[in-house]
């Protein structure tokens, strides 16, 4: 790992990179061959079943108890590691381009974070587009955070991946705007969607390297989620929100994904606003690489770093 990485022609203390192992490079090559015929084709509600199938293939963590529950009026699932620390919780907002995914299908991935952090994690089934466009999912996230922190009296850290990572970062800004309200102690996100205008340069520079997404597909998903709302609105795209006064944030992202610049530009703005931000770029990795835990070195290392950070902040 290097301590500094050049972004936009400058070196930034908040940005680090991880080199790719030979084994992970070979695994990524095999993945690209496997997904080539389907790249960009997952869209709309028809993609829910195949997306769920992908997430259900994430290896299950050991010594994990799953429990259905309702927090803040929102259904979801708990991931309880054996001997989990009391008085604390991780709120994880799952990915799926605002239209796919569920708490049940993300239990294994989030379970790995919970297990490594030794903290129980709750995954809400926030409402999905197009049936429930913005701001339904965002309001569910707020309700669950308040349920955990206020009603249950828990110290809460937030995590999220992809679209859920973007929701997590928007949640931070919304709560920070309530100057006297309860705040999360930290956030750790994986490949967050921070710019719903899709203006990041990596949509072009990583278009070939990314094995999953294309720009037209992203536009289709965002339009369904926004339902006419302005993609550049502060409350919609966390990149454009007020990023001052946020809790410590860590971001993990693959170098071979179209969402790379969503992570880098967000961090650049957050650092300029004085927030404690750090980004770790995993070379050779594509979107969702953390789900390959047990099959790729980078996945386990990234999950270790995320869980270690959250555990430290929750302590």
Preceding amide of 135 cis, omega within 30:
yes
Active-site residue identified among 94, 112, 170, 257 = 257
Say which residues have a Cβ less than 8 Å from residue 289's Cβ, sequence separation at least 6.
Answer: 254, 282, 296, 298, 299, 302
Active-site residue identified among 99, 102, 120, 162 = 162
Active site residue 275: no
Active site residue 287: yes
Active site residue 257: yes
* Closest to 3 in 3D by CA, of 18, 19, 16: 16
Active-site residue identified among 12, 80, 92, 287 = 287
Catalytic residues: 162, 257, 287
């Amino acid at each position: 790992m290097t301590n500094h990485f050049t972004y936009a022609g400058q070196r930034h203390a908040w940005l680090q990179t991880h080199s790719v192992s030979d084994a992970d490079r070979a695994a990524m090559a095999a993945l690209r061959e496997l997904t080539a015929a389907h790249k960009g084709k997952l869209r709309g509600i028809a993609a829910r079943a195949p997306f769920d199938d992908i997430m259900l293939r994430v290896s299950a963590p050991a010594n994990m108890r799953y429990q259905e529950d309702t927090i803040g009026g929102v259904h979801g699932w708990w991931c309880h590691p054996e001997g989990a620390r009391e008085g604390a919780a991780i709120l994880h907002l799952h990915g799926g381009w605002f239209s796919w995914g569920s708490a049940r299908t993300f239990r294994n991935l989030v379970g790995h974070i919970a297990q490594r952090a030794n903290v129980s994690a709750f995954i809400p089934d926030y409402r999905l587009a197009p049936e429930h466009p913005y701001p339904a999912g965002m309001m569910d996230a707020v309700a669950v955070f308040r349920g955990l922190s206020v009603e249950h009296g828990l110290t809460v850290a937030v995590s999220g991946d992809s679209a859920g990572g973007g929701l997590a970062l928007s949640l931070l800004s919304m709560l920070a705007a309530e100057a006297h309200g309860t705040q999360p102690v930290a956030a750790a996100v994986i490949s967050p969607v921070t710019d719903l205008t899709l203006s990041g340069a990596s949509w072009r520079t990583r278009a070939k390297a990314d094995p999953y997404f294309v720009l037209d597909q992203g536009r289709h998903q965002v339009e369904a989620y926004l339902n006419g709302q302005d993609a550049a609105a502060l409350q919609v795209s966390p990149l454009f929100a007020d990023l001052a006064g946020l809790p410590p944030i860590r971001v993990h992202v693959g170098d071979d994904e179209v969402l790379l610049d969503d992570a880098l530009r967000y961090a650049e703005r957050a650092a300029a606003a004085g927030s404690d931000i750090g980004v770790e770029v995993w070379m050779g990795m594509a979107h969702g690489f953390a789900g390959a835990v047990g099959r790729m070195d980078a996945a386990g290392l990234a999950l270790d770093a995320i869980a270690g950070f959250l555990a430290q902040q929750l302590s």
